Structure 1
Amino acid sequence: MDQQERIQAAAKFLLQAPPGEINDVLNDIREIISDDDALQAGVQSSLQEYNLEQFVTADIPGHDHQVIVSEAGRVEVAEGGEERFLDPRSKTTFAFDHLRLEASDPQPAEVDEDAEQTRSSLEASATTYLAAHFHDGVTSVFSVPSTSKKFIVQIVANKYNPTNFWSGRWRSEYRIDLESSKVEGKILVNVHYYEQGNVQLSTTHDTSFDIPPSVQSAPPKQAAEKIVALIENEEGKYQVSLNDGYHDMAEKTFKGLRRALPLTRQKLDWDRVLGYKLGAELSNSRGTLGGAQQGFKK
């Protein structure tokens, strides 16, 4: 395998990096490639793709909040121009370094004033929701260009616990259409548990629901509160279903995968599975995969 082929393989590895571990993957790849300039040039597009998909966050110079860097906030630029992203809260655009994860060069941005009252109300309600249910969560709310009736709410929460060998990320996105009274959403959860092994959870949940007629006639602040309450209900139900899944995984799935006899040639007492570390961790909704997911939400 020549150098270019190794760099292409490295770019694919980066896209599969677990939450909070992309620097570890990149450093391991550096040892293989041994050419930082070629590596940086070769994986730049993969870093960009990874960051946008994973909802990385950025500190905006001159402001005390973070914004989600994603496709929803990408600003159209002239061909050959610098890629920029929007922070709707501060009404600025900024350049973003996908390697260093740093925002720079903030500039004032024009916003759709017809949509701003509803957008800012959704943002305020989503921020309140995060403060009540998430640890270190970030939300950004974008209005869809060319319409004052469509909005995108994005949420991301990260929990890194390398001391106990796990990391996790909760992402969710909701596309709100006030014209059709519909909300289309998706929730993505990624968890990596790697103590004496390598167990990963990657799951996507699609959801949709109608906006009640009463919300349509409500003022922006009250309408936003009701829409976010519906989002809270959807995410709460999904968290419960995940916890139930962890329980079934320990009680049923892993038993179905067992060999007739382990390498010790002694039968495994599955009635005492909680005495074994992996089984105990997977059965405990606040341990390993369950604990990481629980760690996103209070």
Structure 2
Amino acid sequence: MDAEERIQAASKFLLQSPPGEINDVLNDVRNIISDDESLQAGVLPALREYNLAQFITADVPGHQHQSIVSEAARIPSGSADEDDEQSQDRYWDPRSRTSFRFDHLSLETSDPEHVEPDPESEPFRAALETASLTYLSSHYHDGVVSVFSTPGSASRYIIQIVANKYNPSNYWSGRWRSEYIVDTDAKQLTGKILLNVHYYEQGNVQLSTTHNVSLSLPPAIAASGGASAASKVLALIETEEGKYQSSLNDTYAEMGEKTFKGLRRALPMTRSKLDWDRVLGYKLGAELTNSKGVFGSA
């Protein structure tokens, strides 16, 4: 396998990294590449793809909150050189009206600049943001939400939510992501909820699930476009996410009682429970017999 093939293999590993474990994966693939300079240059596109898809959060320079780094947050490049990677890595936080450069390897932000929002879409975007922050504080631990308007449209908004829980001392990690598109002209709320959980104590078990959302907005919400309408949009999201969480709880309960039990026999082929004390006695006797044989030959 040549260097390019090793880089491609490393990139695939990175894209499959469980929540919060990409640095562990990156350190492991360093042993495969054995060339840090080539590794950083080669896997940067994979790191960018992973971070944007996973809604990685970043500290906003000069402010006391975090913002989501995603495709919706990316500022289109004004450079004529489409291969200029640096121009691809500038994002903005509508909440603080700040754009910043983001390093996908170190996850650090730099070079903040003030950005003026679109005056036509900003009032309802800000109302959605306020309602989203209220919802976040009520239902998420250490979650982050960002609300974006769509360039060139005063009727389409994107709400993104991410919450992470890393517990390496107990060998598990998890990430909840949800994204909603609010289209007041089409009177539609569409989106998806993505959940990833990794449990790896003496094994490797992963859960990856996606729930699609498609709801009609009441005419009153689409028409008013104020704080009241924003609160009603978040009420729809609250109901949908609550139902999905309840369905997951029901699924887990059913898996524990039925699915997992169906993967193994309740009793061995003899239809009688195994006497582990007797098995241990057999094992001890076998070891003693082997020991006698060794000492006797000496």
What corresponds to 1:228 in structure 2?
Answer: 234
% of aligned pairs identical? 63
- After the TM superposition, which residues 44-193 of structure 1 pair with which residues of structure 2 at under 5 Å, given as runs? 44-77=44-77, 78-80=79-81, 81=84, 82-83=87-88, 84-193=90-199
Note the C-alpha offset of 1:134: 0.3
TM-score by length of 1: 0.86
Describe the superposition over 1:147-182 as per-residue Cα deviations: whole angstroms up to 9, x where unpaired: 111100000000001111110000000000000110
Cα distance, 1:18–1:266 mapped onto 2, change above 3 Å: farther
**Counterpart check, 1:6 vs 2:6:** yes
Q: Distance in 2 between matches of 1:219 and 1:50?
A: 34
Structure 1: state its 5+ residue gaps.
269-298
SS at match of 1:160: strand
Q: Which one of 249, 254, 265 corresponds to residue 243 of structure 1?
A: 249
SS at match of 1:113: coil
Q: Distance in 1 between matches of 2:214 and 2:225?
A: 23
Note the C-alpha offset of 1:185: 1.1
SS at match of 2:209: strand
What corresponds to 1:212 in structure 2?
Answer: 218
**Equivalent pairs, count:** 268
Q: Which has the higher contact order (CA 8 A, sep 6+)?
A: 1
SS at match of 2:112: strand
**Counterpart check, 1:41 vs 2:47:** no
Cα distance, 1:225–1:193 mapped onto 2, change above 3 Å: same
Q: Distance in 2 between matches of 1:102 and 1:6?
A: 27
SS at match of 1:74: coil
Paired AA for residue 79 in structure 1: A
Paired AA for residue 165 in structure 1: Y
Describe the superposition over 1:73-118 as per-residue Cα deviations: whole angstroms up to 9, x where unpaired: 1111123351211111111211110000111111122311111110
Note the C-alpha offset of 1:256: 2.6
Cα distance, 1:8–1:261 mapped onto 2, change above 3 Å: farther
Note the C-alpha offset of 1:260: 8.0
What corresponds to 2:30 in structure 1?
Answer: 30
Q: Distance in 2 between matches of 1:213 and 1:104?
A: 43
Q: Distance in 1 between matches of 2:145 and 2:252?
A: 27
TM-score by length of 2: 0.86
Q: Distance in 2 between matches of 1:36 and 1:261?
A: 53
Note the C-alpha offset of 1:257: 2.3
Q: Which one of 195, 209, 224 corresponds to residue 201 of structure 2?
A: 195
Note the C-alpha offset of 1:216: 2.8
Paired AA for residue 112 in structure 2: P
What corresponds to 2:288 in structure 1?
Answer: none
Note the C-alpha offset of 1:237: 0.3
SS at match of 1:110: coil
Paired AA for residue 139 in structure 2: H
Q: Distance in 1 between matches of 2:99 and 2:2?
A: 40
Describe the superposition over 1:26-84 as per-residue Cα deviations: whole angstroms up to 9, x where unpaired: 01111222110011111000000000000001111111111100001111112335121
Paired AA for residue 80 in structure 2: E
Pair member with larger Rg:
2
Q: Distance in 1 between matches of 2:36 and 2:251?
A: 43
Cα distance, 1:262–1:166 mapped onto 2, change above 3 Å: farther
